Homo-oligomer: A and B are copies of this chain.
Amino acid sequence: MAGLRERKKQRTRQALVQAAFQLFGERGFEETTLADIAAQAEISTRTFFSYFASKDDLIFHDTEERLETAARAVVRRTPEEPLIDVLRRLVDASVESALNQTLGKKEAAVRTRLILTEPSLQARGLHLLFDTQLRLARTLHGSFAGELSMVEAAAAIGALIGAVKLAVVADLQDDRSFDEILDTARRAAEIAISGLRSLA
């Protein structure tokens, strides 16, 4: 039962995100103030904070959820499934989640540019990803109880995601197309995974 109350809140939330991405796109992140965004979405500045905890969160509001979705790929290890297969599922799920954008094409492009451009946003993004990795490593360690030490689990996840992340960002900075980037991600993953065979 989505009451009128809930629906209105959803609309306001949407309006905020939309206003934000429009203004960020036009003027840049730092140059856009919360007051601007709130005004455009027709709420008071104070109320903004009952929708998002911070200005950054406008950019990352769905990120935690997306990461979590991808991470679930690791949780369900079928019995005896080899490490490499689990890791490959993780990569597939991540690519999948990258394709499944909540945002429109234009907004997604703005976001990517901003994250690459604004140091504070880049830092925040890295932090979110890192937390996920840590959880993943612990999960993996648990799923392979006895077979994989914590160091090994951490090394495996760190190597895999580290390789993909770095390769993708390097590609983004070189202004590659989306398809090229997906390809890069998969290739980097294969390099890291094939390297991890020794753990299998």
Contacts and interface: CB of A to CB of B under 8 A. Distances in A.
Interface of A is mostly: helix
A103 interface: no
A167 B155 contact: yes
A63 to B, nearest CB: 13
B191 A192 contact: no
A166 B170 contact: no
Interface string A62-88: 000000000000000000000000000
Contacts of A187: 151, 155
A123 interface: yes
A151 B195 contact: no
A191 B151 contact: yes
Given A122-B130, A126-B127, A151-B184, A166 B137 contact: yes
Contacts of A98: none
Interface in A120-162: 122-124, 126-127, 130, 133-134, 137-138, 150-152, 154-162
User: Number of copies of this chain in the oligomer?
Assistant: 2
Please classify how large the interface on chain A is, using the bins under 10, 10 to 19, 20 to 34, 35 or more. Answer: 35 or more
A194 interface: yes
A197 interface: yes
Given A155-B163, A191-B156, A126 B130 contact: yes
Nearest to A150: B170
A158 B123 contact: no
Contacts of A91: none
A148 to B, nearest CB: 11
Indicate the member of A159, A184, A191, A196 with the most B CB atoms within 10 Å: A159
